[in-house]
């Protein structure tokens, strides 16, 4: 099978094109550095199937970070049949810089002028035919987002892939060409592939190149000496780069016709928006308000707080099947309405099955297993899918518009001096989706210690799987105690997660994981309108993933939980009300004293072990926490045969009344689950991304200790407010000691300047 590689600058639309060509759903984000590893798929619309490889973004073929090395090596070593060079047409000159390097390799190259829709929208035009004749490579205008020009691109790419191509270069000017020519001949003589490319890189003294071909590097130095002294100066790399840019400006830039005025207007508009959103003082409050709005729209049961002003029973539709679905007192947010609808459906299903089994004379234990064990647990989780999707929708809108990249920029400005760079916030923000890809994304961090610290705190950014815990417990609190709004509690917990993450990184960066934050040079991506199609695709992908997980891991776990909660250690079957004698209860009782300082240990009554047990099942998959509640709640409620499976919020409400747990302990319970060892998949990823077993072991300890400290802090302060002063004192002492310990060394730490490059 032929292989086509997608190469281009970060954020130029490679992954979007990859998804379009192969029908995949890889993560696309409006910020540089989303893709950190190569990814393969197949395009099937040509006469034969063609393999497509999505590579991490690169600005040049002289790489600085590991993921850039992946791209370069792929093109050089794997020798794809064609390189599709994706060029962001709204940013032509800078993108062609890479093109001038790719053309030096002996590989067929085709240039895809992407984002042509935006160019046209701005009223500009690009003469592709003219560019093609100047550059000597086929050029096709496309829009990966709007699916324009794709077939032509692939057809022509397929044509060029049939003929081998020799590298060409735009570098010119007497001595330079001479030197490169000499090197090239020498390398060819030595039988090196891609002689032209390597000759140029050697002449540039490219680090990677010198390492790979030390002998040739020495030879090039000799060559350089044969020219009269100092022609090339010391910074050869800069000379070459300069010469490329000059060439581009002289020869290629004329293909672009700009409608000048509107370009300026557009720039100043996005500048104005940036001035507000990345404001020194208001940037963070604005972020917190936007975040709250998202939670309000997802979790509120009293949208815009207008419930009190509504006429009695106005939205609650009393007496109908939809009673309370759209609101009860206040208007429900879209997230809650969807939640209620799914809840309605799932509980009718499990009721109907329960009734049918009872009527059909099925043994009570079997009915119990199916209704409580399977449906109770499974549906408890599935009913949260709508809210997970709504929250993801909002997060991906924030990401696609380019706002999240601004958040990273604001945070960089504050935390850089403490050794945490804005780059590290990008994978953290990805963690709101799932920790696994987020941990992989940390590969873009150059400082090893910063990378480690970041991996450790990524799970604190509450992922989709933890959402049911937050929502159910917050909902239970709101329902039973009437204290607070579910949206406010959920929001508070997300913010707590972020705060703990930042605090933990800062502590690590100033104690065990010291290092300088490398300068944060990230372009602020342009603001974009999120595309409906890609949002739908993302949500569909999440749904598939979630359903698959529900019917495998979570289903299996709930069945196991049901069994070990209905059998005693001597394998006697137990009725629901005897559950306290079960294996599960035994294990729970045994370890619960450990959780007393967090509020859900020995101080609770006989049923109190359920919290400990639920937290432990969460180590497999975080959804299990609520699935376990679902399974157990149904049994705790009723006498023998469960008459009703209790889902989500109701199951937590049931737990609250059965165990007598209080609000501070419930919040501590959420905090514990958010911060403790994440799910299996995340742990495995963390292990794979860590440099050593020892660092990984410390990471596990770190998770356990952090969750324990923070949640006991939450519990103790919530229960006895004055313990706040004890905690403050403890922290003050700890910080003072650290500062004193570091004192001598602190003076020597240089603070790199924040660099911000903007798209021009
Ligand atoms: P990558 O970093 O090169 O993989 O780029 P992505 O595929 O992640 O895309 C970066 C951003 O550009 C995303 O916000 C995309 O929605 C957007 N994008 C990609 N292709 C196009 C296009 O043809 N037109 C427009 N307007 N936006 C695009
Ligand atoms: Mg990408």
Give 632-673 pLDDT, tens digit per residue. Answer: 887 885 433 344 556 668 888 888 888 889 999 999 999 999
CA of 13 to the centre of ligand 1 (A): 3
Ligand 1, atom 12: closest residue by C-alpha: 13
Helix 195-203, helix 174-189: angle, nearest 10: 130
CA of 449 to the centre of ligand 1 (A): 31
**Whether residue 118 has its Cβ less than 6 Å from ligand 1:** yes
Residue 233 has pLDDT above 80, yes or no: no
> Residues 630, 651: contact at Cβ < 8 Å?
yes
Shortest-distance atom of ligand 1 to CA 54: 4
Task: Report pLDDT for 760.
Answer: 43
Shortest-distance atom of ligand 1 to CA 30: 14
**Whether residue 630 has its Cβ less than 6 Å from ligand 1:** no
> Residues 213, 198: contact at Cβ < 8 Å?
yes
The four Cα atoms 129, 132, 138, 144 give a dihedral, to 10 degrees, of -70
3-state secondary structure of 7: strand
**Whether residue 85 has its Cβ less than 6 Å from ligand 1:** no
> Residues 92, 142: contact at Cβ < 8 Å?
no
Please give the Cα distance from 234 to 211 (Å, whole number): 19
Structure tokens at 585: 């209860």
Least confident of 161-170, 287-296, 388-397, 634-643: 634-643
CA of 171 to the centre of ligand 2 (A): 29
Shortest-distance atom of ligand 1 to CA 32: 2
**Whether residue 75 has its Cβ less than 6 Å from ligand 1:** no
**Whether residue 145 has its Cβ less than 6 Å from ligand 1:** yes
Ligand 1, atom 8: closest residue by C-alpha: 28
Ligand 1, atom 14: closest residue by C-alpha: 30
**Whether residue 405 has its Cβ less than 6 Å from ligand 1:** no
DSSP-H helix ranges across 444-596? 448-457, 467-481, 486-510, 532-549, 555-564, 583-591
Ligand 1, atom 17: closest residue by C-alpha: 13
Task: Report pLDDT for 65.
Answer: 74
Ligand 1, atom 10: closest residue by C-alpha: 11
Distances from the Cα of 751 to the Cαs of 449, 519, 747, in angstroms? 17, 9, 10
CA of 12 to the centre of ligand 1 (A): 6
CA of 433 to the centre of ligand 2 (A): 17
Q: Which ligand is nearest to the CA of 121?
A: 1
Least confident of 254-258, 548-552, 687-691: 254-258
**Whether residue 367 has its Cβ less than 6 Å from ligand 1:** no
Which pairs count as long-range contacts for 261-269, CB under 8 Å and 24+ apart, including other chains? Answer: 262/122, 262/123, 263/122, 263/124, 266/122
Buried b (16+ CB within 10 A) or exposed e, 465-494: bbbbbbbbbbbbbbbbeeeebbbbbbbbbb
Task: Report pLDDT for 187.
Answer: 87
Ligand 1, atom 2: closest residue by C-alpha: 11
Nearest to 433 by CA among 392, 402, 404: 392
Shortest-distance atom of ligand 1 to CA 28: 8
**Whether residue 114 has its Cβ less than 6 Å from ligand 1:** yes
Task: Report pLDDT for 353.
Answer: 87
**Whether residue 35 has its Cβ less than 6 Å from ligand 1:** yes
Going 476 to 480 to 483 to 487, the CA torsion angle's sign is: positive
Task: Report pLDDT for 262.
Answer: 58
Residue that has been written with the tokens 């939205």 in this structure: 315
**Whether residue 12 has its Cβ less than 6 Å from ligand 1:** yes
Site to substitute for ligand 1 among 13, 27, 54, 437, most atoms within 8 A of C-beta = 13
Shortest-distance atom of ligand 1 to CA 148: 23
Please give the Cα distance from 677 to 456 (Å, whole number): 10
Mean pLDDT of 377-381: 86
Which pairs count as long-range contacts for 217-220, CB under 8 Å and 24+ apart, including other chains? Answer: 219/183, 219/186, 220/179, 220/183
CA of 520 to the centre of ligand 2 (A): 19
For 671-708, the pLDDT digits (tens) are 999 999 999 999 999 999 999 999 999 999 999 999 99
Q: Which ligand is nearest to the CA of 119?
A: 1
CA of 686 to the centre of ligand 1 (A): 29
CA of 10 to the centre of ligand 2 (A): 7
Residue 373 has pLDDT above 60, yes or no: yes
CA of 623 to the centre of ligand 2 (A): 29
Ligand 1, atom 11: closest residue by C-alpha: 30
DSSP-H helix ranges across 103-234? 116-121, 128-135, 150-160, 174-189, 195-203, 207-212, 214-226
CA of 617 to the centre of ligand 2 (A): 35
Shortest-distance atom of ligand 1 to CA 16: 7
**Whether residue 91 has its Cβ less than 6 Å from ligand 1:** no
Site to substitute for ligand 1 among 54, 124, 144, most atoms within 8 A of C-beta = 144
Task: Report pLDDT for 72.
Answer: 93
For 510-523, the pLDDT digits (tens) are 888 888 777 766 77
Show the CA angle centred on residue 400, arms to residues 398 and 401, nearest 5°: 70
Assign 347 a pLDDT band (cuts: 50, 70, 90). Answer: confident
Please give the Cα distance from 621 to 682 (Å, whole number): 10
Strands across the sheet with 139-141, in order? 39-43, 50-54, 2-8, 82-88, 109-114, 139-141
> Residues 323, 340: contact at Cβ < 8 Å?
no
Residue 527 has pLDDT above 50, yes or no: yes
Length of the chain (residues): 760
Least confident of 130-139, 318-327, 741-750: 741-750
> Residues 517, 421: contact at Cβ < 8 Å?
yes
Residue 324: which region, alpha, beta or left (left: phi > 0; alpha: psi -120 to 50)? Answer: left
**Whether residue 528 has its Cβ less than 6 Å from ligand 1:** yes
Show the CA angle centred on residue 308, arms to residues 307 and 309, nearest 5°: 90
CA of 30 to the centre of ligand 1 (A): 7
Average pLDDT, the chain: 87
> What pTM does this model have?
0.86
Shortest-distance atom of ligand 1 to CA 18: 7
Task: Report pLDDT for 393.
Answer: 94
Task: Report pLDDT for 178.
Answer: 83
Per the model's pLDDT, the better-predicted residue between 211 and 425 turns out to be 425
For 106-158, the pLDDT digits (tens) are 999 999 999 999 999 988 899 999 999 999 999 999 999 999 999 999 999 99
Task: Report pLDDT for 614.
Answer: 95
Residue that has been written with the tokens 């005025």 in this structure: 261
Residue 333 has pLDDT above 60, yes or no: yes
> Residues 475, 486: contact at Cβ < 8 Å?
yes
CA of 455 to the centre of ligand 2 (A): 20
Structure tokens at 211: 């390492």
Going 343 to 349 to 355 to 358, the CA torsion angle's sign is: negative
Distances from the Cα of 355 to the Cαs of 347, 368, 371, 641, 656, in angstroms? 12, 11, 10, 11, 27
For 420-449, the pLDDT digits (tens) are 888 899 899 999 999 999 999 998 888 889
Task: Report pLDDT for 231.
Answer: 57
- Count of CB atoms situated within 10 Å of the CB of 159: 13
Ligand 1, atom 19: closest residue by C-alpha: 13
Site to substitute for ligand 1 among 28, 525, 759, most atoms within 8 A of C-beta = 28
Site to substitute for ligand 1 among 113, 145, 396, 536, most atoms within 8 A of C-beta = 145
Q: Which ligand is nearest to the CA of 10?
A: 1
Q: Which ligand is nearest to the CA of 117?
A: 1
Shortest-distance atom of ligand 1 to CA 34: 2
Shortest-distance atom of ligand 1 to CA 143: 23
DSSP conformation class of 627? H
Strand blocks (E) in 44-138: 50-54, 82-88, 109-114, 125-126
Structure tokens at 517: 């934050």
């Amino acid at each position: 099978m032929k292989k086509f590689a997608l190469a281009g600058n970060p954020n130029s639309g490679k992954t979007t094109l990859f998804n379009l060509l192969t029908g995949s759903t890889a993560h696309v984000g409006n910020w540089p550095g989303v893709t950190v590893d190569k990814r393969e798929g197949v395009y099937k619309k040509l006469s034969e199937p063609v393999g497509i490889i999505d590579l991490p973004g690169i600005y040049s073929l002289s790489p600085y970070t590991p993921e850039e090395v992946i791209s370069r090596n792929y093109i050089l070593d794997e020798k794809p049949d064609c390189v599709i060079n994706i060029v962001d047409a709204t940013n032509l000159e800078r993108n062609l810089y890479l093109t001038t390097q790719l053309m030096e390799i002996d590989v067929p190259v085709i240039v895809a002028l992407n984002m042509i829709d935006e160019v046209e929208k701005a009223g500009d035009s690009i003469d592709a035919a003219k560019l093609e004749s100047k550059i000597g490579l086929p050029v096709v205008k496309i829009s990966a987002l709007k699916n324009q020009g794709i077939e032509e691109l692939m057809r022509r790419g397929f044509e060029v892939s049939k003929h081998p191509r020799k590298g060409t270069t735009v570098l010119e000017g007497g001595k330079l060409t001479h030197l490169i020519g000499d090197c090239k001949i020498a390398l060819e003589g030595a039988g090196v592939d891609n002689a032209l490319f390597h000759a140029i890189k050697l002449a540039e003294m490219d680090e990677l190149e010198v390492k790979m071909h030390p002998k040739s590097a020495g030879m090039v130095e000799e060559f350089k000496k044969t020219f009269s002294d100092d022609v090339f100066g010391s910074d050869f790399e800069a000379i070459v780069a300069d010469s490329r840019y000059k060439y581009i400006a002289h020869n290629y830039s004329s293909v672009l016709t700009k409608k000048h005025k509107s370009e300026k207007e557009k720039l100043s508009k996005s500048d104005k928006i940036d001035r507000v959103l990345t404001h020194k003082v208001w940037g963070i409050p604005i972020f917190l308000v936007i975040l709250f709005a998202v939670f309000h729209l997802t979790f509120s049961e009293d949208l815009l707080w207008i419930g009190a002003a509504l006429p009695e029973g106005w939205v609650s539709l009393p007496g109908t099947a939809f009673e309370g679905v759209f609101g009860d007192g206040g208007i429900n947010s879209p997230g809650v309405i969807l939640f209620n609808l799914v809840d309605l459906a799932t509980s009718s299903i499990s009721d109907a099955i329960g009734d049918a089994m009872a009527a059909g004379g099925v043994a009570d234990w079997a009915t119990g297993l199916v209704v409580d064990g399977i449906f109770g647990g499974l549906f408890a989780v599935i009913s949260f899918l709508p809210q997970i999707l709504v929250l993801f929708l909002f997060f991906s809108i924030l990401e696609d518009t380019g706002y999240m990249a601004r958040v990273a920029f604001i945070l960089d400005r504050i935390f850089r001096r403490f050794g945490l760079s804005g780059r590290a916030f990008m994978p953290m923000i990805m963690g709101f989706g799932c920790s696994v890809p987020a941990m992989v994304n940390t590969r873009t961090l150059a400082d090893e210690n910063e990378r480690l610290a970041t991996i450790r705190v990524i799970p604190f950014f509450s992922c989709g799987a933890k959402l049911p815990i937050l929502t159910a417990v917050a909902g239970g609190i709101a329902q039973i105690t009437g204290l607070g709004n579910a949206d406010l509690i959920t929001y508070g917990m997300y913010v707590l997660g972020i705060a703990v993450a930042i605090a933990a990184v800062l502590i690590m960066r100033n104690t065990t994981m010291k290092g300088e934050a490398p300068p944060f040079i990230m372009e602020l991506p342009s603001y974009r309108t999120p595309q409906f199609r890609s949002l739908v695709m993302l949500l569909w992908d999440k749904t598939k993933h979630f359903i698959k997980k529900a019917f495998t891991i979570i289903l299996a776990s709930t069945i196991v939980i049901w069994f070990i909660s209905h059998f005693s250690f001597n394998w006697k079957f137990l009725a629901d009300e005897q559950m306290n004698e079960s294996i599960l209860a035994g294990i729970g009782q045994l370890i619960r004293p450990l959780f007393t300082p967090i509020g859900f240990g020995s101080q609770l009554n006989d049923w109190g072990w359920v919290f400990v047990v639920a937290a432990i099942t969460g180590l497999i998959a975080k959804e299990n926490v609520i699935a376990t509640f679902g399974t157990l709640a149904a049994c705790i409620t009723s006498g023998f045969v469960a008459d009703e499976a209790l889902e989500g919020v109701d199951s937590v409400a049931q737990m609250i009344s059965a165990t007598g747990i209080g609000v501070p302990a419930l919040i501590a319970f959420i905090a514990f689950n958010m911060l403790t060892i994440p799910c299996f998949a995340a742990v495995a990823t963390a292990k794979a991304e860590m440099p050593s077993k020892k660092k990984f072991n410390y990471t596990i300890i770190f998770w356990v200790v952090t969750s324990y400290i923070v949640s006991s802090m939450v519990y103790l302060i919530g229960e006895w407010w004055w313990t706040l002063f004890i905690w403050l004192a403890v922290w003050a002492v700890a910080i003072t000691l650290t500062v004193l310990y570091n004192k001598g060394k602190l003076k020597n730490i240089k603070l790199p300047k924040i660099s911000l490059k903007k798209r021009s």
